[in-house]
Amino acid sequence: MKLEVGEIEIDDIQLGDETGIEEGVLHVSRSELRKLLLEDKRLAAVEMTVARPGDKTRIIPVKDVIEPRLRLDNEITGYPGVTDKMGRVGSGRTLALKGAAVVTTGDIVAIQEGLIDMWGEGARYTPFSQTCNLALTFTPRRNLEPHQHEEAVREAGLKAAEYLGEAARDLEPDTTHLYELPPLSARSGELAELPRVVYLEMLIAQGLLHDSYIYGVDAKETLPTWIHPNEILDGALVSGNCVAACDKITTYQHQNNSIILDLYDRHGKDLNFLGVVLTPELTTFTGKVRSCEHATGLIKSIGADGVIISEEGYGNPDSDLLQNCKLLEQEGIKTVLITDECAGNDGFSQSLADTSPEARAVISTGNVSHPVRLDPAERVIGNIGSLANLAGGSGESFQDDGSIVCELNAIIGSTSEIGYHNLTARQY
């Protein structure tokens, strides 16, 4: 499977009468996009606002972030099984508008979405302070059931990203990246002698709006699934997740999964990247055992020497993470775990809800409970009052001088467990 991703650099987004790209500026027709999005009768209204890096702008509560893309050479132009008919993606040519993002917001389900600050202290902790964001604030029809509300906003964000991607159809990319892995049976010579590595990606799949979708299928309805990494990079995996903002994996991060990209960089040099197993993080003990046992069986049958395991979320999913580690290590397959920590404001509480002596190689992406003070914003897109209900925020977050104090929990992507942000290495 061969995927060519052409990147078109976007320096700015401007709202106007027509949609197109000119000299790095993405022009967006307000009326055309609004008409498209409000075809979904579950949505009553949508507001469009551009937030640029350096603006003293706060977006809250953020539901998802999506990179605008256009898939060429494939009759599936949208997100298969979600906004388009079912079909396989991950091959052919795709254009990506680098530096641009669609951000969905509004009072969606009143639980665990997060915030993006485009400037100041908060900008240090989220990668989406560096993208030019088209923020879409949705108002649902009255009395819309929460799961329908989430679905309508999720699909609208994807449709908006598809619409913006179409603007690139006649453009030549600034840079192009090729992603290709030969079939396992075709790997021989020096490649076959390198350590065989599988990436085990854990997906939130707990219901109550804590969901991920693989080709449109809710992950909690699946067993661990073997998948080509190109399919993930090309839109097969979509976030429907309203879990704590710091480590929710947005659709944008799935499209640019940094673990997959790093493994591609090292493939054929010091490792043999076999592929990806997606596994659900379920809520029942039986479900956890089933998923972990099945994932281990898949990975063993493929012949992996080592596995990188990334978590999504913390607390309950820690048990899945450590069970996966334990079972794989007992089969003689070495593991590296990527997780964040919930160690309290002072950093001295127990970091994970579970542990295992087999977990000897662990990468931390930060403490979700670390407190930060964020300066007052000149402009708020969405509803700042929602911070009182977000993980990492409370009614006491609001300070007399207009600043807010919250935990990293509340900032989108601040402790990304696929490493999609800042990482620090220290040698002891």
User: Are the CB atoms for 93 and 176 separated by under 8 Å?
Assistant: no
The residue type at 197? V
Catalytic residues: 242
Give, for 208, the enclosing helix (H) or strand (E).
none
- Starting at the edge strand that comes first in sequence, how are the strands of the sheet with 12-16 ordered? 12-16, 25-29, 20-22
C-alpha to C-alpha distance for 252 and 99, rounded to whole angstroms: 11
Tokens 């659709």, located at residue: 251
| Of residues 58, 201, 198, the one with CA closest to residue 119 | 58
Residue keyed to tokens 């809520």: 283
Pairing of strands 12-16, 25-29: parallel
- Neighbouring C-alpha atoms within 13 Å toward the C-beta of 399: 12
**Do 402 and 120 contact (CB within 8 A), yes or no?**
no
Specify whether the CB–CB gap between 421 and 127 falls below 8 A. yes
The enclosing H or E element of 26 equals strand 25-29
Number of other residues whose CB lies within 10 A of the CB of residue 285: 9
